[in-house]
Structure 1
Amino acid sequence: MTTLRELRERHGDRPDVPYRLDFHQIMLVKEGTGALAVDSRTYPCRPGTLVWTRPNQVLRFLPRPDMDATLILFTETFPPPLNSRLEMLDDVLRPCHWQLSHAELVTFRRVVSLLRDEFEGPDRGQGEVLLKHLLAVVLLHIDQVCDWHHGTAAAPSQSEITTGDDLFLRFRRELDRSFRTTRLVEDYAAALGCTARTLSRACRTVAGQPPKKIIDDRVELEARRLLVHTDLSVGTISRHLGFTEPTNFSKFFTRRVGRTPGGFRKAERAGDVP
C-alpha cells in the first residue's frame, strides 16, 4: 500500500507516459482532481473516485499537482479463493471506474483503513493471512459497488448465480482464446457445449450484458491497444482480429468508438484525450 504522492516523490512526475503494470492496482482518490486513462478510455478523478486496473492494461496518469490517492497493489495469486466472479480478477472487460456516493465512500474508507493498519503494523505471526482476508473484504466491497452501479433490476436466484458463474468463467476464457477468429455467439456456445440461449442467460446473470456485447467489447479493446501501442497498419490489425475486409473493421470500430481507426490512432498519439 502506498499513495500517489509518495510514488510521484519517489519516481518523479511522468505525465502522459503510457505504461503497463503486471499486477493489480486499486486507487481511491483522497483529494484533488485529474484523470486516468485505462486502455485509451479516460476517466475523471476527484475525491471518492475508485479505479481498479488489472495486469496488462495500459495506463496513463493525468493528475493535477493537488491530486492524491490511496493505492493498493497486489498480484493475482495473493487474495484467498473467492466467488466465481472474483476469480476472474484479470477480466479486463469488467467495469474499472466508479464515483462512490458518500455512504459508499464512508464504508469503503473504513475497510481500507483496516487493511492499511495491518499493512503498516508489526507482523505478530498471522500478518500475511490477515492481509489476504482484509484484501478479500476490499474486493468484495468493490464487487458490491459494481453491482449497485451496473447491476440489473431483477436479482437472480442463488442457483442461477452458481450455474451462471461457472459458464460465464468458461466463456470468458474461451473468448480470450478465440476472439480473433470468431465473433459469433453460436460458435462460443458450441465450444462450451451449451445453447446460445443458455450462454446469454449466464452472461446477463453475471455481467448484466448479452454475450454479443461482451465479444465485441473484447475485440474493440484489442483494436484500441493495437492502434495505440503498435505501428501495425489498419489492414494488418483488421486481419489480426479476424475481419475479412478492412472496411468491415473500420465500420465496426467507427460505430463503437465514434472515430475511424486512423483518426483514433492519430488523436491518441497527439495526446488528444477525450
Structure 2
Amino acid sequence: MVIVDHSVGCSVHDYGNHPCLHLSKKTTAKRMRKKDPSTREIIPLKHFQLFRTDFMIQSMMLCMTTHQDWLYNALRPDAYLILWFNNESSRIMVDFEEVSITRDTILFIRKDRVHILMDDRYDGITISFTENFFCKSAEDAVFLNNHILFTDSHQPRYIKVEEEDRVLRLLATLLMEENATTAPSETVNRNLIQHFMIAAARKLEPAEIPVSVDRDRSYVTAFQQLLAHDFRSVKMVNTYATALHITEKRLNAATTHITGKSPKQLIDEKIMLEARRMLTHTSQTTSEIAFELGFFEVSNFIKYFRKHEGITPAIYRKASVSKA
C-alpha cells in the first residue's frame, strides 16, 4: 500500500536557483509545546501508526502536526526511514546515540531502530518504506540487507548533501513529483529509492563502502537476520551456525572478518541493546524484562547485565530516568 499526502505543501524549485527542496508556508505549523521531563521519565516503545504503511513520503512538519506522538516518544517502526532535514540545527537520538543535525543532512534509520526526536520542530522530508514494498525479488533483498546505509550497526548513518550534489536533489525532486500525482507508481517509487540509496552511499568515505558482497558478508547478513528474530530465545553460537549450515568456526571467521567481532559478542550486544531499550523506554519490571529476554531466573539476568554494563539494571534505569 502506498500512502501519499497530497496536502504536503512542498514546492519544487528550479535547481539552478534553489539547491534543495523547500517546504511552502502552507506546512508551517505552530511550535509544539515541549513536554515536562517529569512526564517522560519512561518513554514507551510504540509502533507509530503513521509508519504502518508500505511506502510514505511526507513533509516532517505536516507529519508532526498531524501525529504529535512522534515528538518525544521512543519510536521503533517496522520500516526503513530516510529523513532529509532542512533545519539549521536539530537533534535526534538513535539507540542512545545523539546525532546533531544540520541543514541538508540525510539520516538513514534501519527498521526496528529506536529513535527519539529531541527538539520541538523539524523541517524536511520523511520517507519510509517496508521490505514488503522494496523487496520484489531475491536481488532486491540482497541489495537492501547488505546496503551500507542500512547495516545492522549501532552507529546511525548520515550524510551531508552539498550544493553540487545535483543527483540526490534531482532524485528527491522526482520522488516528490511522482507522489504529487493522483496515481503514483509503486515501481517508479521503488526504482527512485534504490537509485537514491546508491547515490547517497557514494557520499561515504571509500573505506566505509564494502568492495563486494562476498561469502563472508552473506553469512554475516544471514546471521544478523536470524539474530534479530531469535535473540530472545537463542543465545548459543552453535545454534545459529547450524541454522546457516556452517560450522561455528566458519561463522566466527566471517563475523570477525566483516565486523571485527565474534558471534558471541554480537549476540551479547543485541541482548544488551534491547535490555537498555526496555529499561529506558518502558515501565516493565526487571523480572518482566528478564523473562522477555529469555532469562528464566531474574538473578541470572542481573548478573549478565552487570557483567556487560558494570552496574545493575536498577541503577541503570535510575540513571537513565535522571538523564531524561
TM tier, smaller = 0.7 to 0.9
Pick aligned residue for 1:17 from 47, 67, 73:
73
Aligned position for 1:44: 100
How far has the Cα of 1:147 moved from its partner? 7.1
2:158 is the counterpart of 1:98: yes
SS of the counterpart of 1:137? helix
Aligned position for 1:248: 303
Contact 2:302 2:313 in 1 (8 A): no
Name the CA shift for 1:68/1:40 in 2 (closer, same or farther; >3 Å). same
Name the CA shift for 1:140/1:264 in 2 (closer, same or farther; >3 Å). farther
2:178 is the counterpart of 1:118: yes
Give the aligned CA root-mean-square deviation in angstroms: 3.6
How far has the Cα of 1:187 moved from its partner? 4.1
Name the CA shift for 1:266/1:41 in 2 (closer, same or farther; >3 Å). farther
Aligned-pair identity in percent equals 22
How far has the Cα of 1:45 moved from its partner? 1.8
Pick aligned residue for 2:131 from 63, 66, 76:
76
How far has the Cα of 1:44 moved from its partner? 2.0
1:156-177 per-position Cα deviation (integer Å, ceiling 9, x unaligned): xx5xx24234323331233234
Higher mean alpha-carbon deviation, 233-242 vs 190-199, is at 233-242
Contact 1:18 1:58 in 2 (8 A): yes
Aligned position for 1:194: 246
SS of the counterpart of 1:21? coil
Normalized against structure 1, the TM-score is what?
A: 0.74
SS of the counterpart of 1:110? helix
Aligned position for 1:86: 144
Gaps of 5+ in 1: none
Name the CA shift for 1:40/1:100 in 2 (closer, same or farther; >3 Å). same
Counterpart residue identity of residue 268, structure 2: D
Aligned position for 1:261: 313
Name the CA shift for 1:186/1:143 in 2 (closer, same or farther; >3 Å). farther
Structure with higher Rg: it is 2
Aligned position for 1:223: 275
Contact 1:95 1:146 in 2 (8 A): no
Aligned position for 1:58: 114
Counterpart residue identity of residue 272, structure 2: E
Aligned position for 1:2: 58
How far has the Cα of 1:71 moved from its partner? 1.0
Contact 2:85 2:106 in 1 (8 A): yes
Counterpart residue identity of residue 249, structure 1: Y
State how far apart, in whole Å, the 2-side matches of 1:99 and 1:24 are.
Answer: 16
SS of the counterpart of 1:31? coil
Aligned position for 1:27: 83
1:17-61 per-position Cα deviation (integer Å, ceiling 9, x unaligned): 333434332101122222122334332222243222344443321
Counterpart residue identity of residue 251, structure 1: R
Aligned position for 2:6: none
Contact 2:105 2:161 in 1 (8 A): no
